[in-house]
Structure 1
Amino acid sequence: MYTPLIASRTETIPVRGLTYHVHRWGQNTNASAPVLVLLHGWADVGASYQFIVDALGESWVGERAVIAPDWRGFGATQPPSPVDTYWFADYFADLEVLLDHYAGDGHPVDMVGHSMGGNVAMLYAGIRPERIRRLVNLEGFGLPDGRPEQAPKKLRTWLNETAQRRNGEITIKPYASREAVAQRLMKTNPRLSLDKALWLAGVWAKQALDGQWHLLVDPAHKISSHTVYRTDEALAIYREITAPVLAIEATECSLTSFWGGRYTLEQYHQRLAQIRQHTIKTVDDAGHNLQHDQPELIAQWMKTFFA
């Protein structure tokens, strides 16, 4: 099993009625180095960045405070009582409290976001541009443009699914062993080696009293969004971003498999063009979880970009 090169520690802080679990690396020996904030994607955990942290190296990481929170309803950040839905805007408010705690007022941070975390990071960088110094977006593509006529169906679906969740009809299946969880991860990402998959299984799932391994994902996250995605609104926020943005994508483009042509890489690049300073880099031999597939290369680009 993979052995981390740079040990992490976990802290808890109160965030808007939740006990947020935050993974930390580094000793912050350089007081002028910005805090580095790593934001994970949907159904993932903050510890998922361990391979990139190791690739950054002990010397580089040691100068900084590096944090990776478990988003609400993921990892160890679970609600004190059952909920039947999650709201995307809560990620912005949670992130703001985290930045207040770890960076304080007037200290812009460096930020990396993967997938859903990349979407949160991009929008937050336009909502609070003064708080972000530099931003790396790992395949945080956004969504296909929505249409007003989708609203009635989306709301009906949301109402139906929240009722199903309250009735215990929406669940996440457990696995018989850590090895079974690892196999599930490797099925999703064939490039993932067994040693890394076994390690990730231990932070992505937890063995319960029933002996089975349960994914650390609140089933309420499976509820469909009730909102219609408005590209024009997202672009208005993108135009407020002042931080340089490094957008990293994999050669095995996930947009095709996600949306089947309804949203293309060309359209994503057109959206990025709304940002004042942006650079696009492509990682070879990588899929959507490129932070697992090519951590050394991404770490190298991060160190150059954040220098």
Structure 2
Amino acid sequence: MNSTRLDVRGLQYHIQEWGERGNPTLVLLHGWMDCGASFKYVAEQLANRYFVVAPDWRGFGETEHAPGYWFPDYFADLHEILDYYSPELPANLVGHSMGGNIVLMYAGIQPHRVSAVISLEALGMAPTDASQAVDKYRTWMNQVLRGEPSKVYPNIASLRRSIRAGNPRLTDAMVDELTTLWARPNPENGTYRLKHDHNHRFTNPVRYQIDDTVAIWREIRARVGVLMAEDSPMYQQYHKLGRLDEARQLLGVSDDTYALLSDCGHMVHLEQPVATAAFIDRFFGAVESD
């Protein structure tokens, strides 16, 4: 594993790399409050066949913070990252959660830049209604103007308990590693703060427009794969609303390019990295053989 820096639209991006540059490039994009390095358990199984690249999004992990965050910035950041790592060939992309929503939308916005794409646990967000707009803007303004401070964990044990509470299926070794990947200590008093910019926790004042997402998905020309987890709230919500089958049909996701992991929650790359890596390898192997 190699750690490097790349200037992306004026921010110093932190990027993890696995494997040899001569292999096909595979870009892994993490979700909200995560970082690229947490893909290590998946990437290590793919590095013998691919050159695996996993950036920390702006304001997450070790990448620099920005004055503010606007969802379209992720598309522009990804575009510059691909210009560096895959300047001549359409890219192979995998995104988890927020990262999955980003890669699916990017594949529709810039269809010529994407060869194949996998979304892990992401098929858009819950639809919103115009009646929510006022409260969303009010909440965002209150949060921004109040300047709410980020949470401080008094010691490593409290940080571990917090990570464990949100990720009950992970091994103790994984929880220990996430304390390093997701947080940094204050050497003066032994407290810990999470690395992400606290502004990411503010309510998005702009409500989600599912019709816009669907219109963008219709422009996708890449082969699309989807991996979901049976015990994940995401899967359960999509299934309950009937959106899973609709999204699969719209994206052209067949039984061959879809998988549902049992006994697994939202963090598929951590809870079942072997099965996740096998799905990714099988999907892109089929792309290469077409």
The TM-score, its normalising length taken from structure 1, stands at 0.86
Q: Select the residue among 180, 198, 210 that pairs with 1:202.
A: 180
2:49 pairs with 1:69: no
User: Structure 1 runs of 4+ off > 6 angstroms?
Assistant: none
Does structure 2 conserve the Cα–Cα contact (< 8 Å) formed by 1:37 and 1:67? Answer: yes
2:20 pairs with 1:27: yes
Does structure 1 conserve the Cα–Cα contact (< 8 Å) formed by 2:229 and 2:235? Answer: no
Residues 122-137 of structure 1 mapped to structure 2, 5 A cutoff = 122-137=104-119
Structure 1 partner of 2:249: 273
Structure 2 partner of 1:154: 136
Identity %: 36
CA deviations over 1:78-114 (Å, ceiling 9, x no partner): 227xx3x41111100111111111111x311111111
Q: Select the residue among 163, 174, 179 that pairs with 1:185.
A: 163
Residues 281-296 of structure 1 mapped to structure 2, 5 A cutoff = 281-296=259-274
- How much has 1:188 moved relative to structure 2? 0.7
Q: Secondary structure at the match of 2:283?
A: helix
What is the rounded CA distance, in whole Å, between the counterparts of 1:110 and 1:122 in structure 2?
12
Q: Select the residue among 161, 171, 192 that pairs with 2:149.
A: 171
Does structure 2 conserve the Cα–Cα contact (< 8 Å) formed by 1:241 and 1:276? Answer: no
What is the rounded CA distance, in whole Å, between the counterparts of 2:91 and 2:40 in structure 1?
19
Residues 1-307 of structure 1 mapped to structure 2, 5 A cutoff = 8-30=1-23, 33=24, 35-56=25-46, 61-79=47-65, 83=67, 85-104=68-87, 106-165=88-147, 170-210=148-188, 211-255=190-234, 264=240, 266-278=242-254, 279-307=257-285
Does structure 2 conserve the Cα–Cα contact (< 8 Å) formed by 1:28 and 1:62? Answer: no
What amino acid is aligned across from residue 86 of structure 2 in structure 1?
A
What is the rounded CA distance, in whole Å, between the counterparts of 1:160 and 1:272 in structure 2?
38
Alpha-carbon distance change, 206 to 292 in structure 1, aligned in 2, over 3 angstroms: same
What is the rounded CA distance, in whole Å, between the counterparts of 2:115 and 2:49 in structure 1?
17
Deviates more, 1:133-142 or 1:261-270: 261-270
What amino acid is aligned across from residue 200 of structure 1 in structure 2?
L
Q: Secondary structure at the match of 2:250?
A: coil
Structure with the higher helix share, 1 or 2: 2
Deviates more, 1:41-50 or 1:133-142: 133-142
Point out where structure 1 has 5 or more consecutive residues left out of the alignment: 1-7
What is the rounded CA distance, in whole Å, between the counterparts of 1:62 and 1:195 in structure 2?
24
Does structure 1 conserve the Cα–Cα contact (< 8 Å) formed by 2:229 and 2:266? Answer: yes
Alpha-carbon distance change, 293 to 186 in structure 1, aligned in 2, over 3 angstroms: same
What is the rounded CA distance, in whole Å, between the counterparts of 2:275 and 2:245 in structure 1?
22
Point out where structure 2 has 5 or more consecutive residues left out of the alignment: 286-290
Does structure 2 conserve the Cα–Cα contact (< 8 Å) formed by 1:186 and 1:193? Answer: no
Alpha-carbon distance change, 265 to 177 in structure 1, aligned in 2, over 3 angstroms: farther
What is the rounded CA distance, in whole Å, between the counterparts of 1:264 and 1:219 in structure 2?
32
- How much has 1:262 moved relative to structure 2? 9.3
What amino acid is aligned across from residue 17 of structure 1 in structure 2?
G
What is the rounded CA distance, in whole Å, between the counterparts of 2:153 and 2:50 in structure 1?
37
What is the rounded CA distance, in whole Å, between the counterparts of 1:53 and 1:241 in structure 2?
26
Does structure 2 conserve the Cα–Cα contact (< 8 Å) formed by 1:138 and 1:247? Answer: yes
Alpha-carbon distance change, 94 to 73 in structure 1, aligned in 2, over 3 angstroms: same
Instruction: Output the aligned Cα RMSD.
Output: 1.9
The TM-score, its normalising length taken from structure 2, stands at 0.91
What is the rounded CA distance, in whole Å, between the counterparts of 2:99 and 2:14 in structure 1?
16
What is the rounded CA distance, in whole Å, between the counterparts of 2:80 and 2:183 in structure 1?
26
What is the rounded CA distance, in whole Å, between the counterparts of 2:198 and 2:123 in structure 1?
24
Does structure 1 conserve the Cα–Cα contact (< 8 Å) formed by 2:18 and 2:44? Answer: no
